[in-house]
Amino acid sequence: MQLGILGLPKVGKTTLFNTLTASRQETDKFAASKKTHVAVAKVPDPRLAQLRPLFNPKRYVPATIEYVDIPGVRPLGGTEGGYPQQQGEGKESLDLAQLRTVDALVHVVRAFEDEELVHPSGSVDPARDVEMLDLELVLADMEVVERRIERLRRATKGGASPDEKRELELLADVILPALEEEKPVRELVLAGDDEKRLRGFQLLSAKPVLLVVNVGEDEVSGADPAAMGIATSDTCRALAISAPIEDEIARLSEEEQREFLTDLGLEEPSLDRVLRASYDLLGLISFFTVGEDEVRAWTIRRGTVARDAARVIHSDIARGFIRAEVTFWEDLVRWKTLTACREKALLRLEGKDYVVQDGEVIHFRFNV
């Protein structure tokens, strides 16, 4: 799974990217980067960490998420409401080709004050900046939809297929009117077939969004995005961090981290919350495989059945699927071995259509 990190320049995007992925991309307080960076982040999971000492495996493999650091939207001239003089100009500086391929967006929003770093719109207003970037995504989508509608209308003159007619109705009667009202596609409630029709367009405003509000270092323990006027929904989540603090925490030892977090009044690094929120936003869960060779977390979408979960490990396991031996991670931690779980009747046998649950430990039996 891949998430694109975007926002205005100098909001802390690359600092967050570096912290999430343990990268060391160069940052400059005053010069905006024009490069796209890609790296993988390990998803912290205390459940997997508790399974590790039971097996002392040769390999320990947490789940991962790939993040793409997109160059900032070009600084916009300050005008009424903080919008650019010509709405839609901001998208010209977005890496649209890269953004269209990601599964979700992480919009980093500035909420910190810095006299040396003047906001391009003249003032710090997180809610305004969220609305502004959403508008740029909507306008980029509008161009795509209008071109497709034009092609479909030309095609229907010569006789269109039922699928083409339904696509035209969807785009012309539902999607385009919403975009013209500056409403992101992710806010629309669509039937399953219509959602599938839209996937090929890779509309930016249809992608779920995680709003990461970058606050001042003295505000991190009590920051509330809702109090800043930032609205959320099932497809748009929000949380507050202080990117410089997270970068500093990531460089400390575990013991130093605990002391630092206690001093800040935090229970865990905000970095962990960002990673979990990214996971949750995409509807992802983890199941685990364990043994002396490897203890590993595997990423699947919520609702995945056992045979499809097996395919994530290897296609041969899915092809030769016999059954899945399943237990909860808590039971394995408590009783230490799979044999003990079996003796306690805590190891179940499940078939190919069993829906895998988050945090289950699974051993697949197969024959090819």
pLDDT tens string 20-29: 888 888 776 6
Residue 29, pLDDT score: 60
If one compares 95 and 337, the residue with the highest pLDDT of the two is 337
Mean pLDDT of 209-237: 88
Burial of 191 (0-12, 13-18, 19+ CB in 10 A): exposed
Residue 359, pLDDT score: 96
Q: Identify the three-state secondary structure at position 49.
A: helix
Rounded to whole angstroms, the Cα distance separating 149 from 167 reads: 9
Q: How far is CA 101 from CA 7, 36, 55, 59, 95, in A?
A: 17, 13, 38, 31, 11
Element spanning 40, H or E: strand 37-42
Percent of the chain with pLDDT over 70: 92
Rounded to whole angstroms, the Cα distance separating 116 from 368 reads: 65
Residue 81, pLDDT score: 42
If one compares 244 and 107, the residue with the highest pLDDT of the two is 107
Q: How far is CA 322 from CA 343, 363, 364, in A?
A: 21, 11, 8
Residue 85, pLDDT score: 42
* Beta-carbon count within 10 A of 280 CB: 14
Fold topology of 2-158+160-280: Rossmann fold (3.40.50)
Of 208, 279, 270, 282, residue with least CA distance to 240: 270
Mean pLDDT of 270-275: 83
Q: Which residues contact 368 (CB under 8 A, 6 or more apart)?
A: 316, 319, 320
The listed range with the strongest mean pLDDT (35-39, 112-116, 169-173, 263-267) is 169-173
Residue 33, pLDDT score: 64
In the predicted structure, residue 208 carries a pLDDT above the cut 50 = yes
Residue 201, pLDDT score: 92
Of 34-43, 101-110, 184-193, 257-266, the range with the lowest mean pLDDT is 257-266
If one compares 196 and 293, the residue with the highest pLDDT of the two is 293
Rounded to whole angstroms, the Cα distance separating 359 from 79 reads: 50
Residue 115 banded pLDDT, cuts 50, 70, 90:
confident
3-state helix, strand, coil in the chain (%, to 5): 45, 20, 35
- Give start-end residues of each CATH 3.40.50.300 domain in the chain: 2-158+160-280
Instruction: At 216, give phi and psi (nearest 5°).
Output: -65, 160
Percent of the chain with pLDDT over 90: 56
Q: Give me the residues paired with residue 233 across strands.
A: 236
Residue 247, pLDDT score: 82
In the predicted structure, residue 73 carries a pLDDT above the cut 80 = no
Structure tokens at 263: 């001093």
In the predicted structure, residue 75 carries a pLDDT above the cut 70 = no
Of 18, 206, 209, 204, residue with least CA distance to 95: 204
Rounded to whole angstroms, the Cα distance separating 320 from 328 reads: 24
Burial of 244 (0-12, 13-18, 19+ CB in 10 A): middle
Rounded to whole angstroms, the Cα distance separating 65 from 67 reads: 7
- Give start-end residues of each CATH 3.10.20.30 domain in the chain: 303-366
Of 25-29, 79-83, 217-221, the range with the lowest mean pLDDT is 79-83
Q: Position of tokens 């500056």?
A: 182
CATH of 303-366, one of 3.10.20.30, 3.40.50.800, 3.30.70.1450, 3.40.50.880: 3.10.20.30
Element spanning 209, H or E: strand 209-214
Residue 83, pLDDT score: 43
Residue 276 banded pLDDT, cuts 50, 70, 90:
confident
Report the length, in residues, of the chain: 368
Of 133, 138, 137, 166, residue with least CA distance to 152: 166
If one compares 286 and 26, the residue with the highest pLDDT of the two is 286
Rounded (5°) CA angle 41-44-45: 140
The listed range with the strongest mean pLDDT (64-73, 76-85, 205-214, 271-280) is 205-214
If one compares 223 and 323, the residue with the highest pLDDT of the two is 323
Structure tokens at 119: 């906001």
Each residue's pLDDT tens digit, 308-366: 999 999 999 999 999 999 999 999 999 999 999 999 999 999 999 999 999 999 999 99
Structure tokens at 67: 């993040």
* Beta-carbon count within 10 A of 270 CB: 25
Mean pLDDT of 189-198: 89
If one compares 3 and 33, the residue with the highest pLDDT of the two is 3
Residue 78, pLDDT score: 42
Rounded (5°) CA angle 322-61-342: 40
Q: Identify the three-state secondary structure at position 12.
A: coil
Question: Long-range contacts of range 25-32, CB-CB < 8 Å, 24 or more positions apart?
Answer: 25/69, 29/116, 29/117, 30/116, 30/117, 32/71, 32/72, 32/75
Q: Identify the three-state secondary structure at position 26.
A: coil
